[in-house]
Chain A
């Protein structure tokens, strides 16, 4: 029901306001206007979310594998550790990154010493900080489904691969990875979807130059009070994500069959 109202609002006359009320004028122009004004934010959101999802996969896979296959006694402890970040507030944790990455913090100090950033370089208020925040905040969503699928992996299959003279790399590529594909698909979706709509990391760790589409929707609704445009932006975001998810699931599905 909210989605229908959103769709309707997105077609309202943009000249109306909260006070005078909105007239339904089937204003498809709202969509064109919204897209032409904010397409860089859409692109930025998808790129940031994409990189963050990829990083989550690269970081989350070894962790999930370690928990599922290597940690015999500490399995439950490690699982609790993965969900532990959820125990504190999302905002408080993101603000903690501000401390970690601050200009006179040790992270920036080390990066300056080894020359990754210039002597007056910053990490805070850059795209890197926003992507790092996104990666951090959504990593557990990647690890848990990966763990669920890796936990079911039968260790004897790997022994069999080994017996048949497969190298560890080959065994991983031919046995472990294909069998954990459902976890990879679920994890990437659970990471990508919220990351693409997130605006807290961009707001707290970035500057207006890093603003994502969520920031625009938020300010259109709550600051500029331009409901039709905000609704149109939300609807476009939802449509893009649904389309990408659909294509992705189809592709991943056929890969699994191969």
Chain B
């Protein structure tokens, strides 16, 4: 009887925790496999515990090159997309101009089309424009889809901003530039930082669009894809685990700082 009551009170939570477990299962496997010494190249099963993969993560030839290239592309794409996206968000929130509705729709479009369509459209465009595929076409493609996410994130922050704060600053004889530097920017900054982090992780992790536009340039996801056909080296799981830990620390760090600020 009591068990029945407890169950009826808590079953939603129980299901929720089970679903979370489903989400975490592959991560646990990735972490586990990063300590694995596989029995053969094509084996995906856990064989023997080893620390070799962690002490020598750059073992498989060109994997670390691919990681470095992904970081470079991610960095350039993030800086450009964050700059453009933030300016666009300001324009969309602060100014009424002709075609504003259409621009809003266009911003949304890359998020609403499947990646295959985006990737293949860009490829068609690059080929028609005679642009050689490689590092820079990947950067252009990444900037394109990252901009949308930056605009949406910054816009959300900006439209929640109380415009009376800026008016107050102006009333206190702050120049427009001072107002922007001392009031607007600090208030919008968390949104911009979040947008930049989002852009970087999207760029770093993107495979489908990159696959269409990279030519012979190999990024980390491209490397993993290629390796999947031949047998995955366990070092890939080391990179996967390391990425997970870095991102987790970043998120926990920002949430601790936010709590302190409040």
Contact = CB atoms under 8 A, between A and B. Distances in A.
A140 B26 CA distance: 14
Interface residues of B, number: 62
A60 B255 contact: no
A169 B75 CA distance: 50
B101 interface: no
Given A91-B225, A231-B120, A197 B114 contact: yes
A209 interface: no
A35 interface: no
Given A59-B19, A136-B23, A89 B124 contact: no
6 contacts: A6-B121, A80-B252, A89-B224, A91-B228, A99-B45, A235-B117
Interface stretch (B53-61, B90-98, B185-193, B206-214): B206-214
Interface string B131-156: 00000000000000000000000000
Interface stretch (B81-89, B164-172, B175-183, B232-240): B232-240
Q: Please list the 6 inter-chain residue pairs (A to B) with the smallest Cβ-Cβ separation, ordered nearest first.
A: A197-B114, A66-B16, A2-B121, A87-B247, A96-B26, A92-B240
A9 interface: yes
A155 interface: no
A211 interface: no
B158 interface: no
Contact of A85 (B23, B113, B221): B23
Contacts of B207: 90-91, 200
Of the four ranges (under 10, 10 to 19, 20 to 34, 35 or more), the interface on chain A belongs to: 35 or more
A237 B116 contact: yes
A231 B124 contact: yes
B117 A227 contact: no
B211 A6 contact: no
Contacts of B243: 87-89
Interface in B203-262: 204-205, 207-208, 211-212, 220-221, 224-225, 228, 232, 236-237, 239-241, 243-244, 246-248, 251-252, 255
